[in-house]
Every structure is written in structure tokens, then in C-alpha cells.
Amino acid sequence: MHFSFFFVGLSSTASTRQSNDVVESTDPTWKYCTMPDVNKKQSLKCNYCDKIYHGGITRIKYHLGKVPKCGVAKCGKVPSDVQEEMLNLLSKKDDNKQKKSVEKEEERAQVDLNYSEGEEHSDGDGNSILVLKKVTSKGGPMDKYCKLTPEEVVAARKGKSGVAEKVQSKLSTEKREEKRDRAWEYICQFFYEAGIPHNSVTLPSFDLMLEAIGDFGRNLRGPTPYEMSGKFLQKRKRKVQETLKSHKESWELNGCTVMTDAWTDKRGRGVMNLVVHSAYGVCFLDSVDCSAVKKDGRYIFELVDRCIEEIGVQNVVQVVTDNARPNEAAASLLKAKHPSIFWNGCAAHTIDLMLEDIGKMPRVAATISKAKCLTVFLYAHTRVLNLMRKFLSRDLVRCGVTRFATAYLNLKSLLENKKELQRLFRDDELNELGYLKSAKGKKANMIVKSETFWKGVETAVNFFEPLAVVLRRMDSDVPAMGFLYGYLVQAKIEISRRFNHDSTKFQEVFHIIDKRWESKLKTPLHRAGYYLNPFYYYQNKLAIEENETFRDGGITCITKLVPN
């Protein structure tokens, strides 16, 4: 016994010397453990059982103290006096943590957003001025490892993280609510003075900003304008560029679509945006001011080609533009240089052209013209407009993404409010205003009371609505190539159903749809998307297999994309 105890003691002494050579610490626990590898400072070996534990000196304390339910095995060879020493050390550590917690609570209690040092200070105009005294933050060495980040706190508050139970945002006292309201006043004052839109508070970055300011504490100096436009802007730019990595990985894995969007800004400048769409989402790539150049096929091709080279030819499946003639010329140049890339017209633009062609049909155009006369009369006079809103409890005119989408929405709104509008024009108050005696008033009155007009509105809505649903789906950020063909099939079925399958009533509309569909939206890529979409394939398996064009579309796509 004496010899074994002697050797254990000797081993402990030697290990203590080895540990002290590497670790400078006054913690007595280092007498009972060693660090086998100086490069792994968190891996420590118990001198009694020779087992290695990872996680630092605190886990050795749990091990030697035989503390239950702490994720560390109990040491079976530790002497009782050492075990008691470890328990005392752990208890003392808990007392220190509790003391720090109490000190922090006392410091927080000193914060008063209404008063400073027990009294409120006012400026010459009678406005309260917030004067804060400096409070030194006391953080332990483990704070940087244990403290939640602003992102984690915000996510927990919204129930998006497993650490929600660690964050207590409950306002427990009336005094705390007063402080919160006072803080909100300053936040709102900043928004009012800077002219920042109020819905900016819904941005995730606003929550992160508040949490970061609260985490810093008192006397936080804001960035200067130079700093905001300098290093912090560059830092944010680098972060945005880092997020592009996920997009680029998706481009390489699944391919992508390059889209162009030409428009005119408020200053009359011609602008072309280049956007990349993939399974990961939409990514803005470039914006070009093309006011001073001729936007012909060659110019558009060069812009798109530069974009393709930047992304990688092998990663681009198709280019999507509107159906203007310069784009068709650019498509020919692209096919010559990159035969493996498809060039397709914008589906949303093509469907809008369908709506436009339907709107030019004589009976539909006449209905739209009458509806315009009615709405112009209602919105031309403030008192008539106020009375209309009183009857309808809403506005009548609605705006859509395109001109003829707007026409559909307004016809739909008229149809939904038919009874209220007829009741408005029968009301004595409108007659007493005297506007119905004018030529426009008489015409509007006749339109509202005409059943022929309302039947025309219903017919136009039945033509427009199924296609407007497809337009809304195409104009979203959700990939729709595999659904477009099916959407148009469903739209035609819905139009037929609304007219009780009487082809004489919708034959002209079907001709318009098919003409645009055949020329722009029945490419091999569209047919392959429909063929490979299980949502449609298993519903219509027999019909799809009997129509060889779908399978041919798939084969054409494979041959074009993989020439070898």
C-alpha cells in the first residue's frame, strides 16, 4: 500500500510540473490532471483513473467531484478529500456566477429612460433630454462562448430557434413598460426626422440592430457618414457576395435561366436589368443604362453573352426575354454561338398579349370602354367619390401588373359591386348633388342600369380570369417551367366550363390563345417540362404518352443540352 501510494503521489507531482509548464493558472484542479498533448488544451487526463476527458478543466472538476447528470463519468479512484475539494470549488463558482447575476440586475435597475440621476432635465423648449451615466460592462472570459448572438436572440423571439427558452422578453412590471415606451419614443423620433418609411421596422435587420445596441450597453457611438459609406459598406458588400456562393452552387448543380427586363425609369432613362433564376432563387446580376445606344439585336446579344460567360456556358439552360423583335434577332445570334442554350419568350409577356388580343375583341372592347366611362365619372368628383366609398366601403379601381390585367381587375371589381353601384345611382343623395344631370352623369347612369352592360362585364371576366390566374403564377419567383403547359390547359378547360362548353361562345378566344401558345410557349423545353412533371403525368398518362410531341420535346432537350 505504501509503495503504491508513493508512486501515485510521484506521478501526480510530475504531472503537475508538466501541466504548470504549459498552463499558467491558480486553479488547484491542475494538481490532479495532466495535459497529454499541448496542442489539445481542452483534452485533459485524470491522474487517478488515467482517462482522458474533453472540454476543459471544469469537466475534470465534475469528474473528480462525482457530480451526477453533468455528462461526465464519475471517477472511481478519487480520494474523498479531493472529491470534497472539487465540490467546494464548483459551489464557489456557482456562488460567483449568482453574485455576478445580481450585480447585473442592480446595474440594469439603475437605467431610467425618464430621469437621469433621479431627476429629469429639460431644454429651453420644454423637451425632455435623456442624460445617461456611464456603466462599465463586466463580462467573464466565457461570455464570448456562452452569450447568444443578436441573430439567435431575434430568431428565438420569433420562435424560429431552439434557444427560445433562453430569452425572456416578458415585460414584468409597469416601470419596465414605461422605460420601453420612452425608448420607443426616441426610435420613432429618429424615423420621423429622417423620413424613413414606418414599415422599415418589419425588416429583420431592424431587430438585429436593436438587439446589438442593447447588448453593447450605454455610450454606444454611432458610425459617421464616412464610416457608413466606407468600410462598413464594403463589409456588407462582401457579406452579400458570400451569399452568392449558394446561388452559384445551385447554378452548377441544376442549371439556371438568364432573364432580361427592359424598362424606363422616372427620369426617362432606358434601363436593362439582367437577372439569374435558379432552383435556389432569383439573383440580380447587373443593370445597364442603355439610353444612349440603339437597343438592337446585336446590342442585346452582347449584354446577354457577357452575362452567360460570367455564369458559365455549361450552367445556363435558357435565356428568357420579352417578345420584341430585337430580342428575336438576338436569339438567332445566341443560337449560332451557344447552340446548347435555349432562348424563350417571357411567359408572362405572352399571356399578357393574349389578354390584350382578347381585350381588342369588339364586344369586350365595348364593355371596357363603358366601364371606363363609369369609373371616370365616379372618380372625377370628390363628393361622388366619397359617397361611392360610403356605399361600397372600399375603392372600386384596382391596379394590376399590366394594362390588361388592370382592365380585368376593374371589371371584376365592378361585377362584385354591382348591387351596391345600382343602389348608389338610385339614392336620393347622389341625385341631389346634381352631377347626374350632366352628359357624363347621364351616360354613367344609363350604363349602371343596363343589363346588357352587366352581361358584357360577366362575359369579359370569364374570358380574362382563367388567364389572369396563369399570369399571376408566371409573374412570381416560383419556378414554373414544368407547370406552364398544364396551367394553360387548365385555363382553357375553365373558360369552356364557364360557358357550359358551348364552343360558339369562346371559339374566338381559344383561337387567340392557341395562336400565341403555338408560336411562343410550345417549345421543346415547355413540352419536356410538362412531360416530366409527375403532377400532370400521372393524371393524364395515357393522353401524354399517345401525344408523341411531349416525348420528342424531352429528347430534343437532351440532345441540345448534352450534344455528346
Closest CA to 351 of 469, 496, 460: 469
- CB neighbours (10 Å) of residue 459? 19
pLDDT value at residue 4: 37
DSSP type of residue 344? E
Task: Spell out a b/e string for 499-537, using b for 16 or more CB atoms within 10 Å of the CB, else e.
Answer: beeeeebbeebeebbeebbeebbbbbbbbbbbbebeebe
DSSP state letters, 417-468: THHHHHHHHH-HHHHHHSGGGSHHHHHHHHHHH-HHHHHHHHHHHHHHHHHH
DSSP type of residue 399? -
Phi, psi (5° rounding) for residue 128?
-70, 135
Mean pLDDT, the chain, integer = 81
228 vs 221: CA distance, rounded Å: 13
Q: Which residues pair with 52 in a beta bridge?
A: 45
Phi, psi (5° rounding) for residue 265?
-85, -175
Residues 6+ positions from 161 with CB-CB distance below 8 Å:
152, 155
- Does pLDDT of 19 surpass 60? no
Encoded amino acid at 374, one letter:
L
3-class secondary structure, 387:
helix
* Band of residue 17 on the pLDDT scale cut at 50, 70, 90: very low
pLDDT value at residue 106: 64
Residue 199 CA to its chain's centroid (Å): 15
Closest CA to 445 of 454, 436, 453: 436
pLDDT tens digit sequence for 243-286: 888 888 889 998 899 998 887 777 778 888 899 988 888 888 88
Q: Are 74 and 60 in contact (CB under 8 A)?
A: no
3-class secondary structure, 377:
helix
Q: Which residue has the higher pLDDT, 293 or 192?
A: 192
3-class secondary structure, 316:
strand
- CB neighbours (10 Å) of residue 183? 16
pLDDT tens digit sequence for 509-554: 999 999 999 988 888 989 999 999 999 999 989 999 998 899 998 8
Q: Which residue has the higher pLDDT, 37 or 444?
A: 444
DSSP type of residue 1? -
pLDDT tens digit sequence for 165-201: 444 444 456 677 888 888 899 899 999 999 999 999 9
105 vs 173: CA distance, rounded Å: 14
What angle separates helix 362-380 from helix 439-449, to the nearest 10 degrees? 130
- Does pLDDT of 111 surpass 80? no
Answer yes or no: pTM beyond 0.75: no
Helix (H) or strand (E) holding 232: helix 231-254
**Strand locations in 281-371, DSSP E?**
281-289, 316-321, 342-345
Q: Which residue has the higher pLDDT, 443 or 2?
A: 443
Residue carrying the nine cell digits 427558452: 165
pLDDT value at residue 192: 94
pLDDT value at residue 485: 92
| Helix and strand counts by DSSP (H, E) for the chain | 25, 10
* Band of residue 358 on the pLDDT scale cut at 50, 70, 90: very high
Closest CA to 447 of 338, 371, 384: 371
